[in-house]
Amino acid sequence: MDMYKKGDCLTIIIEDIDTEGQGIGKADGYTLFVKDALVGDKAKVKIMKAKKNYAFARLEEIIEPSAHRIEPKCEHHRRCGGCQLQCLSYEAQLAFKEKKVRNNLVRIGGFTEEEIDKVMQPIIGMEVPFYYRNKAQYPVGRDKKTGKAVAGFYAQRTHDIIPNTECALGVAENKEILERILAWMEQCKVSAYDETTGAGLVRHVLIRKGFVSGELMVCLVVNGKELPGEDALIDTLKEVPGMKSISISINRENTNVIMGKTIRTIWGSDTIEDTLGGIRFRISPLSFYQVNPVQTEKLYAKAVEFAGLTGKESVWDLYCGIGTISLFMAKNAGKVYGVEIIPEAIEDAKGNAERNGFTNTEFFVGKAEEVLPEFYEKAGKTAELDAGHVEAEFNEAGNASPDSEADMLHPDVIVVDPPRKGCDVQCLDTMLKMQPERIVYVSCDSATLARDLKILCEGGYELKKAVCVDMFGMTVHVECVTLLQRKNT
């Protein structure tokens, strides 16, 4: 068989889809990955990059569309890296996500199909899979032709900005805010940042909206300490109904990380507020806060259900952010201990607990893989000798003041909600030593979830329940909640 080469055009049928949403088809046994192609499409494709056994190809023409193909909402969907599945019916998106999670549980987690059938509940989809994001981060640059400032999104796998102030996943206010900022830049001759030279001021615009409160936050990420025309910016932005907080984030590094570490509020409040499950949360520009509040309530309700709380339990909430899951648990538990790496988020968590009248929570700053083992080592070693001494010692370390170190050492429930990379092995190891009755694992990456579940199951736990919650319609991402039960209890 002659090898296919770059530039070759072929007609193929798409038979499968990969985890990133690319269609997969074959020509004479040779595999082609085709972005924007759907299972069931008969399509003409052009090879862009050919390897020995496979190639990446571009969708040139759809000859016969897949039964699941629909009209996309956004004209930019093919160039933008954000929505990989906009041409796929929402029903088929949900099926794709469930299958992706199941595959990872089998392939990486080592579970059998039968085991998964027993524990997996139907995916919880969205009623409206658009306009759901409460947070948007738009890059700002200069249009090469007109020289005018533009905001939009990066074309897939590049840092070329395609102007677009109306993302179909975001809120309607984004457009007005961005247009006001761009007009202010023209009026006050404020430069846009240029990644190639490192010159220019405005890099990104972060917008957040409290869906229940209606409050808006704008944070301009700038390559400098001062903002020329700061008053004019404030004057134009504060006219937007709901505006509550305007700040700048100073980021002078040559980096892909969007936010700088220093935030200066230039108008209004440092934070905005939002309500989830009847609990009010304060959110600052740097805090993690789930982007889809409607689905977040469903996700957290599942986590609470899986935790099986009766009002007495002691619960650790690892990777707790601003304490959202902690407070959902605290409503139904005896005591909740939260751990989070970002100090500001822990300050928010403490404030959120206090303002909502919770007295049964405690929060610790640090890496889960350090705080938990450190606590376990210290408290565990001396617990048998002198429980009072343990308390004093742990207090001296400035990290905790446990009411009952026995409850902390051997909690009823540990909840984890780590970032995509999953839990550190040190953290998993200590969780196993602590032997909670139940572990509730909330995850935004089913590959690392499956990897960690395998370790926990080998350490004496059994997978009892699992459910996917779609928090990210139109994209390939999906959230999962799983329940592990300690064996022989």
Binding positions for ligand SAM, rule: CB under 6 A: 288-290, 319-321, 324-325, 339-342, 345, 367-369, 417-419, 444
Q: Report the residue number, 27 or 272, with the smaller CB distance to ligand SAM.
A: 272
**Contact partners, residue 180, CB within 8 Å, separation at least 6:** 236, 237, 239, 240
Q: Report the residue number, 165 or 326, with the smaller CB distance to ligand SAM.
A: 326
Write b or e for each residue in 370-381: b if 16 or more Cβ atoms lie within 10 A of its Cβ, otherwise e.
ebbbbbbebbbe
Shortest Cβ 383–ligand SAM spacing (Å): 24
Tokens of 87: 């041409």
Alpha carbon distance 325, 318 (integer Å): 10
Tell me if residue 356 falls in helix, strand or coil.
coil
Shortest Cβ 132–ligand SAM spacing (Å): 16
Shortest Cβ 214–ligand SAM spacing (Å): 20
Shortest Cβ 439–ligand SAM spacing (Å): 15
Q: Report the residue number, 374 or 417, with the smaller CB distance to ligand SAM.
A: 417
CA dihedral for 63, 69, 70, 76, sign (positive or negative): negative
Contact 394, 379 (CB under 8 A): yes
Shortest Cβ 322–ligand SAM spacing (Å): 6
Q: Report the residue number, 381 or 420, with the smaller CB distance to ligand SAM.
A: 420
CA dihedral for 69, 74, 77, 83, sign (positive or negative): negative
Of the candidates 427, 444, 468, 480, the residue annotated as catalytic is 444
In terms of C-beta distances under 8 Å and separation of at least 24 residues, what long-range contacts does 99-105 make, across chains too? Answer: 100/19, 100/446, 100/476, 100/478, 101/446, 101/449, 101/466, 101/468, 101/478, 101/480, 103/19, 104/446, 104/447, 104/449, 104/450, 105/446, 105/449, 105/450, 105/453, 105/466
Shortest Cβ 211–ligand SAM spacing (Å): 15
Beta bridge partners of 335: 314
Residue of closest CB approach to ligand SAM:
321
Q: Is 444 a catalytic residue?
A: yes
Contact 248, 219 (CB under 8 A): yes
Which residue type is seen at 455? Answer: I
Q: Report the residue number, 223 or 324, with the smaller CB distance to ligand SAM.
A: 324
Q: Report the residue number, 290 or 360, with the smaller CB distance to ligand SAM.
A: 290
Beta bridge partners of 362: 337
**Active site amino acids:** 444
